[in-house]
Amino acid sequence: MIQDLVEEQLMKHDYYSQAKAYILYRQKRMENRELMMKLVKDLQEEAILPVMQKIQKDFSAEVYDFKALRMKFLSFLKEDMSKDMRLRMLMKACVELISREAPKWGIYRISFFIMAAKTRCTCSYGKTRHIFFL
């Protein structure tokens, strides 16, 4: 792969600290891809993948880590939950992760809500049930 060649050339020309940073960057990206695929599997909804890819591109991975999101989501997950309820729990996980340091978890929630609307999901909030057909 071209990334391997880049690493080799950096080390060959004594750019060890840059090579290390590049290797760590690649590792973090691989871990994030794996976490995204696990979330897709947990949610049983492939439409979530492009939403997560956009979020990853738009926000800092240090503050908005998919690992934190997945752990919070899994704490709410029950095996017999419907796709709609799983998505609702993902949005709940986003809300619970909002903090002064990471206020944009709310944007994640909105992104997932829009995805639900585009994929004709049914979402319940409180006593109200919304069915989206876009």
Give the model confidence (pLDDT) of 59-96 as tens digits: 766 667 788 899 999 999 998 999 889 989 999 999 99
- State in Å, rounded, how far the first CA of the chain is from the last one: 41
* Mean pLDDT over each residue of the chain, to the nearest integer: 82
Tokens of 131: 């069915």
More confident call, 61 vs 56: 56
Q: Which of 125, 111, 120, 4 is nearest to 49 (CA)?
A: 111
Contact in structure between 44 and 82 (CB atoms under 8 Å): no
- Looking at residue 133, its pLDDT comes to 37
Q: Which of 44, 41, 63 is nearest to 108 (CA)?
A: 63
Contact in structure between 7 and 23 (CB atoms under 8 Å): yes
- The residue-averaged pLDDT of 95-121 equals 82
